[in-house]
Amino acid sequence: MSLCVALYARVSTEEQAQHGTSLEGQIQRCQALAEQLGATEMRSFVDAGISGADITRPGLQSLLAAAKANEIQAVVCLDPDRLARNLSHQLILTDQLESIGVELHFVQFERRPTPDGRLLYAIRGAIAEFEAHKIRERTRQGKQQRLREGKAVTGTQILGYAYDRKRKGFVVDVAEAAIVRAVFAMAPQMSTQAIADALNSAGLHAKGGGEFSQSAVYGILRNPTYLGRMSMLKGQGSISMPPLVAREAFDLAARALAARRRRPAGHGRVYVLSGVARCAICGRAVTGSGGSRPYYACAGKRAKPPCSSPYYPAAETEAAIWALVVSELESAARHETPEVEAWAERARARDRRRLESRRRRLVQAGGAGRLSAEDLTLALSQVDGRLKALDLEPQRGGGKQDAEAALAYLKRADARGRRDILRYLGLSVWFGPDAAEIRACGAGDANTRASDH
């Protein structure tokens, strides 16, 4: 009869440092017991550097999955505290395994199926939980002592620095420090998204090897560590660091970020095709990005493996799509289609709501001191002028003249208006390997080539 035994080993960083516990040593001792049990096959499951108080450990979860799939018949572990350092977790895991017929054995503890044996097992679990608390307390005290001595207390990953484990401190990573200084140099002229795009286009990588994101760039620009001081233990103290940027550069970047936050809503670029663009290759959404050089790209570009669809320049693609939409609107107006006037009426109502909302925000910004009196007066005059122009627009009444007036209004739509019109019309834009196509939603055979890549 075959007997597949799972060998489970775990070690946390603190335990390995303090007691010299190793995964290899645990596995070897578990193998010896498994052989005594008559194992015909052994499978190892390990969790390295993970606390026993965490029941979601990957190795442990893989072991439980194998047990539920009836792939193993027994589990061997060095000690109950390797399985869990939380009494309730220990009892839950034991019950889960035994309820599906999987035996649980320990090298350093003999479980007995008696009332006394179960009590002793629970006491052992309580002791393990107590020891875990003591380890955390000793670790905390050790970190606080190191902090009082002005030494680093953790190997935190931070761009621009490398952690020297021998010296228990940080040293400058020359290549990464150059990236940090470049980010601060770009901050006064570029948005955080534009900076992230520029770094990724240059083939540079964030800490850990991934791509830069907008939030990552923002975090760099707001991190006072680069001035020469790193906060430790949630603000309980700080240590000296080699500074990477001057105070002037840091403050300049901070002012640039603050200025962008104070700008009235709607300042950024509007992507006309957002919400209606899809990838013809993988079916995912296509979104706009790119900062100073905007483009459309499939969301699958971030998948593994990435989608093979190309990048589309935003301005050219939007212009080509809009030209097709205008052509359809002109055809509808020539036939005095009532939908044209309905679309125009909806567009006017939307424009009025947006302008009135913008006016309220401007007044609030002026009252809070975020806009100067001169800027507020200029912005309000522009908004009021556009509201007055809306009042002068001809209202819906039917007939060719009204249809032409409605068409003229739709053709004057700004980026937001064009985006809404595409949605009113129920159109979708599909980005293929060579061209973007415009379709009526649900009409997969009604394609019109709009923009060659």
Indicate if 322 and 435 belong to the same structural domain: yes
Indicate if 339 and 311 belong to the same structural domain: yes
Q: How confident is the model at residue 4 (pLDDT cuts 50, 70, 90)?
A: very high
Q: How confident is the model at residue 404 (pLDDT cuts 50, 70, 90)?
A: low
The answer to whether the beta carbons of residues 46 and 9 sit under 8 Å apart is: yes
Indicate if 171 and 35 belong to the same structural domain: no
- C-alpha to C-alpha distances, 450 to 119, 178, 295, 327, 333, nearest whole angstrom: 75, 43, 16, 12, 21
Indicate if 130 and 243 belong to the same structural domain: no
> What share of the chain in percent tops pLDDT 90?
17
- Could you give the CA distance from residue 76 to residue 409 in angstroms, rounded to a whole number? 76
pTM of the entire predicted model? 0.37
* Higher pLDDT, residue 445 or 395: 395
Indicate if 283 and 414 belong to the same structural domain: yes
Q: How many domains does the chain have?
A: 3
Q: How confident is the model at residue 66 (pLDDT cuts 50, 70, 90)?
A: very high
Indicate if 99 and 123 belong to the same structural domain: yes
CATH, residue 131: 3.40.50.1390
Indicate if 104 and 10 belong to the same structural domain: yes
Which pLDDT value is given to residue 169? Answer: 75
Indicate if 86 and 230 belong to the same structural domain: no
The maximal CA–CA distance of the chain, rounded, in angstroms, is: 96
Which pLDDT value is given to residue 259? Answer: 78
Whether 391 is covered by a domain: the verdict is no
> What share of the chain in percent tops pLDDT 70?
74
Whether 396 is covered by a domain: the verdict is no
Give the lowest-confidence range in 118-132, 170-184, 251-265: 118-132
- The residue segments making up the domain with residue 431 are 277-346+401-452
- Could you give the CA distance from residue 222 to residue 235 in angstroms, rounded to a whole number? 16
The answer to whether the beta carbons of residues 424 and 325 sit under 8 Å apart is: no
Q: Tell me which of 234, 262, 290 is where a domain ends.
A: 262
Indicate if 233 and 291 belong to the same structural domain: no
Task: Please give the backbone phi and psi of residue 317, each rounded to the nearest 5 degrees, phi first.
Answer: -65, -45
Q: Nearest 10 degrees: CA dihedral of 316, 321, 324, 330?
A: -100
Whether 198 is covered by a domain: the verdict is yes
